[in-house]
Structure 1
Amino acid sequence: MIKDVLGIGLKEYWAGNRDANFFIHNQFGEADEMPITYFFEGEDEMSDLEYVALETCKGRVLDVGAGAGRFAVELQNRDCEVVALDTSPGAVDVMKKRGVKNAQVANIFEYEDEKFDTILLMMNGIGLAQTLEQVSTLLEKLKTLLDDSGEILFDSSDVTYLYDDQPKPKDHYYGEIDFRYQFQSLKGEWFKWVYVDFATMQEIADKAGFYCDLLMTDEQDQYLASLTLKPDA
């Protein structure tokens, strides 16, 4: 399997191939086509949910899983200090070429820095926990990077609809899904991603010492939520 298929596709698009698309494979059937243009959309093309997230960011921002920098670029334009992280070297290379001042190849579980006012995990960034069990581990890590008065912003969704015609799995949480990227003939390694329904997310956040507030939902059953630290958490 090819490593960093995501980065290869983003670099190809940035180099001028504006017709480039990803195909996203999962265990449910045929691959879904995903236009690479999505990773480069600016403020004017963002969904209402994404725009609310952008508007809510303040202060020093940590953009986790920043991709091609669609949020990082806009936040810099708003004079925010942004640190943009991604595990894809190709994505980070594209971010730097787009003018993101502090883009780093890094795994959030290993990242250490000073505190941030906002930690942003968009495009279901909370899913990088991979499993429901590890969501609490991710929150504990983010807690070490969040200012006491700071805020974590993330989006996710309830994927119950995927099981309309089949029973939910009994050996793992139904929101845990296997994916892999394909760009042209190149296929990447399979990886796990988790989508967390809001009620379950509230329970996990509460145990981890966070308030979890719903900011908005959209017609695709996605939601935007905010995590803030409880006193003495």
Structure 2
Amino acid sequence: MKDLMGKAIWEYYHQENPRDLQTETSISELDELPVAYLFRDFEEMNEIEQKALELSHGKVLDIGAGAGSHSLYLQNEKKLDVTALDISPKSIEVCKLRGIKKAVAENMLQFSGETFDTILLLMNGTGIFQSLQAIDIYLKKLHSLLNENGQILIDSTDILYMFDRDEDGGVYIPAEGYYGELDYIIHYKGESEVPIKWLYLDFNTLKNAAENNGFKIEKLLKVEDAYLARMKKLIKE
């Protein structure tokens, strides 16, 4: 991994001739992602992010923290004990420089030793699961990181709307696999990251997977095709 996301975040923070990121997926065209967007404050965040941050409590793990904007708000404004976790070393360096007290560069599957009251997976948090085939591995790991009465706040988008429809309203989707499994590619300053697997989930598919892995789940908010869900451990009778 070239850590192009981290490079862009680092250069933006240090004002070392930053440029916008470019992203594309296996079903979408090249799109601009302004790096400044990753440094937004609470007022600039969308409704789903704001709701998740408002509901966060206790000891928090922010998975896929990026430049650390969610963690900073929870640490500085809500005075919570927050750990920012991201696979990108340069992003985590910037998190620390921005004042986040606990910031760890590690894959969540290798992260251990602590449990949390709130786990955040935002900005299409289900993407980290990569594919339906791997989702059980990630959900089992999340289960192990969560305190008994804790919560996981996770968002995603049902991307069915991106596929063509026939005259009767039927949708043309791939014959094999799940339509939310995409290849995701990041470009920055003429360099391209190795494509990664990225998973968008409709709520019912996430619900089935969550319940199969010891969680109860509820949809908290829906904004167009995106939603915020909360998962909690099933209480054993």
TM-score by length of 1: 0.95
Residue deviations 1:69-102 (CA, integer Å, cap 9, x gap): 0101001011100111100111111111101111
Partner Cα distance (2:53, 2:35) in 1 = 20
| Alpha-carbon separation, structure 2, partners of 1:72 and 1:39 | 12
For residue 38 of structure 1, what is the amino acid of its counterpart?
A: Y
Counterpart of 2:31 in structure 1 is 32
Q: Give the Cα separation in 2 of the matches to 1:72 and 1:175.
A: 28
Structure 1 match to 2:140: 140
Deviation at 1:29, TM superposition (A): 4.5
Structure-1 separation of matches of 2:17 and 2:174:
39
Deviations 1:42-76 (A, max 9, x none): 11111111100000000000000100001010010
Residue 98 of structure 2 corresponds to 98
Q: 1:224 and 1:30 mapped to 2: Cα distance?
A: 26
Give the drift of 1:18: 8.1
Match among 170, 177, 190 for residue 175 of structure 2: 170
Question: What is the one-letter code of the residue matched to 2:214?
Answer: G
Gaps of 5+ in 1: none
Q: Cα offset for 1:20?
A: 2.5
> What RMSD, in angstroms, separates the aligned Cα atoms of the two structures?
1.5
Runs of 4+ in 1 over 3 A off after TM superposition: none
> How many residues are aligned here?
231
Residue 232 of structure 1: how far off its partner (Å): 2.1
Is contact 2:149–2:233 with CA below 8 Å preserved after alignment? yes
In the alignment, what sits opposite 1:120? 120
Partner AA of 2:80 in structure 1:
C
Give 2:84's aligned amino acid. A
Corresponding residue of 1:87: 87
Q: Counterpart of 1:204 in 2: which secondary structure?
A: helix
Task: Please state if 1:222 is matched with 2:221.
Answer: no
Residue 29 to residue 116, structure 1, CA distance change in 2 (3 Å): closer
- 2:71 aligned partner, one-letter code: A
Shift of residue 133, structure 1, vs aligned partner: 2.1
CA–CA distance in structure 2, aligned partners of residues 29 and 139 of structure 1:
28
Measure the CA separation in 2 of the matches of 1:33 and 1:202: 32
TM-score, normalised via structure 2 length:
0.93
State the distance in 1 between where 2:64 and 2:134 align: 17
C-alpha displacement at 1:161, in angstroms? 1.4
CA contact under 8 A between 2:22 and 2:31: conserved in structure 1? yes
Instruction: Trace 1:40-79 onto structure 2 (pairs within 5 A).
Output: 40-77=39-76, 78-79=78-79
Asked whether the 8 Å contact 2:11–2:18 carries over to 1, the reply is no
Q: Is the CA contact 1:62–1:82 (under 8 Å) kept in the aligned structure 2?
A: yes
> Please, which runs of 5 or more residues in structure 2 have no aligned partner?
166-170
**Higher mean C-alpha deviation, range 83-92 or range 20-29:** 20-29
CA distance in 2, matches of 1:154, 1:29: 23
- Write the distance in 2 (CA, Å) between the matches of 1:113 and 1:18: 39
Which residue is 2:168 aligned to? Answer: none
Q: Is 1:130–2:130 an aligned residue pair?
A: yes
Amino acid at match of 1:22: L
Residues 202-221 of structure 1 correspond to what in structure 2 (within 5 A)?
Answer: 202-219=207-224, 221=225
Deviation of residue 129 (structure 1)? 1.0
